[in-house]
A and B are shown apart, each in its own frame.
Chain A
Amino acid sequence: MSDPAVDPEEVRHVADLARVDLADDEIERFTEQFVDILDAFEALDDVPETEREADLSNVMRPDETRESLSQEEALQNASDTEEGQFKGPKVS
């Protein structure tokens, strides 16, 4: 917590994990923004603890089938499809 330093390397790594391609100048900009954002979150350290909501537990549903979406409905937001499947770029 006390070490909010974010370096460009870390930004690059996080971007890789999220499969986001960043240009060098973006890396620089995001590094600064990361630091700002983490600083902003530090404000939360000063928020007093309050009563928590009553604990929920064992929220379950019976093992009973419900109707699924149709194939058309399932695919309606997809930018590209083929033979009833979502189509995307190749992966590595």
Chain B
Amino acid sequence: MTAQASEARELAAVIGLEVHVQLETETKIFCGCSTDVADAEPNTHTCPVCLGLPGALPVVNEGAVEAAVKVGKAIDADIPEETTFHRKNYYYPDLPKNFQITQYDSPICQDGKLEFSVEGERRSVDIRRAHLEEDPGSIKHVREGSGPLESRTCSIERADYTLIDYNRAGTPLMEIVTEPDFRAPGEVRSFLEKLEEVLEYLGVFDATRDGSLRIDANLSMVDAGEVDDAGDIDESVLEDANRTEVKNISSHKGAEQALSFEASRQRKLIQSGRAVEQETRHFNETHGNTVSMRSKEEEKDYRYFREADLPPLRVSHWKDEVPIPELPDARRERFVTEYGLSEEAASKLTSTKQVADFFEDVAERFDANLAATWVADNLLGELNYRDMAITDIDDRFDEVTRLVELVAEDEITAKNAHETVLREMLDTGDDPDTVVDREGLGKTSGDEVQQAVVDAIDENPDAVEDYHNGEDGAINFLVGQVMQKTGGSADPGDVNGLLREELES
């Protein structure tokens, strides 16, 4: 292909998302079975409703509807006057009723948007709809054999039979569908991070739950020239472009990886003059690639029809009644104005609600600047270095607060507090007072420091002479000697002053 021809086919990616998030409720969406299934034995969280037994009647969980309304408020969506449920019919063993109860033509949230930033630039993506639905059960593909079950679970192609656990069946999900507003895989990642942050602030989502986030992404390529200055693309151009739907993405990183792969795969096809097939593809996280999936069902094959067992919901007025907390953007701006923090520090501190709450707690007790340094820089920095998350230490906030207190009350130096105590706290699990005692970091009393100053002067006549001859390095040498004698627990500034006093007297 000539340079000119390839220039003529400069391409832009067009990406849209369907994000499934698990809503944090006590019970399933249509029955009273607990959703707390993490360590449960299989099929111990089921009932006639979520097992799809004949005659069982679903009843909507008010908590799930409330969570959906909160999401709607946070993404600035319309909550329609009336919203209904539909049956999506398909046969697969994870679906005990042979249909999934979902929403079809009147989802609970419509026309929202979410703002986020990519590399410092603000972006907004339109959210077409967000609807409630139930999760299917969990399937295991298994090979015959005599070994333990865990060793015989395998890929679908190699399986001899299937095992099903319906504990998860009926867990409330929200499917959030964006407009095809993304132009790069990196934008998708930033969006997902922001979405999770907002959902966690709302208290409707727990990212640490297994399978709490699942993403389907569609991607097509259009001529770069079709994208106008505002980043918009004509409808007809989008309709003409063949797109692929990538399934089985379960993380932000996975989304970026899957879409980068898919974008370059499509780009290569188009640039070599071949067509992109409109199809569903499966993301293989291990290999970082996408593979074609034989899909038997088209949209019309799902034969959607109204779920007659569930009367419609009329909850648009809940939008005024259900309160939501201050969201990350608002909180970040408040941190800048109220505490005088930099944008960067405020962003770090509002990245999760837990961090922000902890910061405010520390700031209230001591001082905002000290709190910002300790939470944003020291704590998050050390956690990050250890590949830990704030959730790994959220039961130790009291200990970190105590450490900040030791610094605020001048009982240990800031350097020791950070470089020794905090690090050991994270590495050994000990509390700050234990570490301070063990390492002998308590600030040495004034008498001891004074004694060390006198000793250092007596023992180093050469340095004293150098000092009197005006050599700058001499005082630093003597400070070092005193620090050594006090095990690093004296304040170097104080020592410097004491030495000068002693030497000049």
- Residues of A in contact with B (beta carbons under 8 Å apart): 13, 16-19, 55-66, 68-71, 74-75, 82-92
* Contact residues, B130-169 vs A (CB, 8 A): 139-142, 149, 156, 159-166
Measured between beta carbons, the chain B residues less than 8 angstroms from A16 are 296
A89 CA to B43 CA, complexed, in Å:
18
Q: Is the CB of B60 within 8 A of A59?
A: yes
A88 CA to B41 CA, complexed, in Å:
19
The reply on B401 being an interface residue by CB < 8 A is no
Q: What's the least CB distance linking B172 to chain A, in Å?
A: 10
Q: Is the CB of A62 within 8 A of B62?
A: yes
Q: Is the CB of B164 within 8 A of A92?
A: no
A74 CA to B161 CA, complexed, in Å:
20
Q: What's the least CB distance linking B307 to chain A, in Å?
A: 12
Contacts A74-B51, A87-B162 known; list 20 others, CB within 8 Å. Answer: A17-B90, A17-B297, A58-B314, A58-B315, A62-B63, A63-B25, A66-B32, A66-B33, A69-B47, A70-B44, A74-B44, A82-B142, A85-B42, A85-B43, A88-B162, A90-B141, A90-B156, A90-B160, A90-B162, A92-B156
Residue of B nearest to A61 (CB): B59
Residue of A nearest to B163 (CB): A85
Candidates B26, B27, B93; contact of A91 at CB < 8 Å: B93
Candidates A64, A74, A82, A83; contact of B32 at CB < 8 Å: A64
Candidates B43, B45, B60, B165; contact of A61 at CB < 8 Å: B60
A85 CA to B34 CA, complexed, in Å:
18
Q: List 15 contacting pairs A-B, 8 Å CB cutoff, sorted by A.
A: A17-B301, A19-B91, A57-B313, A58-B313, A61-B59, A61-B60, A61-B62, A62-B63, A64-B27, A69-B46, A82-B142, A83-B163, A86-B163, A87-B164, A92-B156
A65 CA to B35 CA, complexed, in Å:
9
Measured between beta carbons, the chain A residues less than 8 angstroms from B33 are 65-66, 68
Is chain B's binding surface mostly helix, strand, loop or mixed? loop
Q: Is the CB of B62 within 8 A of A57?
A: no
Measured between beta carbons, the chain A residues less than 8 angstroms from B139 are 91
The reply on B311 being an interface residue by CB < 8 A is yes
Q: Is the CB of A91 within 8 A of B163?
A: no
Q: Is the CB of B32 within 8 A of A84?
A: no
Q: What's the least CB distance linking A42 to chain B, in Å?
A: 18
Residue of B nearest to A63 (CB): B63
Q: Is the CB of A59 within 8 A of B161?
A: no
Q: How many B residues, CB 8 Å from partner?
A: 52
The reply on B82 being an interface residue by CB < 8 A is yes
The reply on B65 being an interface residue by CB < 8 A is yes
Measured between beta carbons, the chain B residues less than 8 angstroms from A60 are 59-62, 65, 313
The reply on B92 being an interface residue by CB < 8 A is yes
The reply on B497 being an interface residue by CB < 8 A is no
Q: Is the CB of B59 within 8 A of A59?
A: yes
Interface residues as binary, B30-71 with A (CB distance below 8 Å gives 1, 0 otherwise): 011110000001111111100100000001111111000000
Measured between beta carbons, the chain B residues less than 8 angstroms from A58 are 311, 313-315
* Contact residues, B63-107 vs A (CB, 8 A): 63-65, 82, 89-93
* Contact residues, B289-345 vs A (CB, 8 A): 296-297, 301, 310-315
A60-B61, A66-B33 known; A82-B163 Cβ under 8 A: yes
Q: Is the CB of A89 within 8 A of B62?
A: no
Q: Is the CB of A85 within 8 A of B164?
A: yes
Measured between beta carbons, the chain B residues less than 8 angstroms from A86 are 43, 93, 163-166
Residue of B nearest to A18 (CB): B91
Q: Is the CB of A83 within 8 A of B62?
A: no
Q: Is the CB of A68 within 8 A of B44?
A: yes
Q: Is the CB of A63 within 8 A of B26?
A: yes
